[in-house]
Amino acid sequence: MKPEVQERIENLISQNKIFVFMKGTKLMPQCGFSNNVVQIINSLGVPFETINVLDEPDIREGIKEYSKWPTIPQVYINGEFVGGSDIMVELYQTNELQQMVEVALAS
């Protein structure tokens, strides 16, 4: 991965408490998995930011290498990689996600 791509990824993650690398935007997700993640975070009523990896091929490939995770979407909370759609659903159902978000927003 190019150093400038890695730096951009790190800046996006560090400057936002909750950040999602996704296909589409939070207003117009362009895949079902990205839509699931957006719906889950929206249901928590917390602020979050996203980037549309379909518009940025360097970021799309770079984030997979950065996280060592092969799929999109990817969710970061408080600078830590949480996972993709399936993991977000599981964390939400067990209330772990709500706790993670509360801790992140309080710090």
Distances (CA, A) of 99 to 8, 40, 59, 81, 92: 28, 14, 29, 15, 9
Q: Give the per-residue pLDDT at 51.
A: 98
What are the tokens at 11?
């800046």
- Note the pTM of the prediction, 2 decimals: 0.95
**Vertex 47, ends 57 and 28: CA angle to 5°?**
45
**Residue 5 reports pLDDT greater than 90:** yes
Over residues 44-92, the pLDDT tens digits come to 999 999 999 999 999 999 999 999 999 999 999 999 999 999 999 999 9
Q: Give the per-residue pLDDT at 107.
A: 84
Show the domains of the chain with their CATH numbers.
Answer: 3-106 (3.40.30.10)
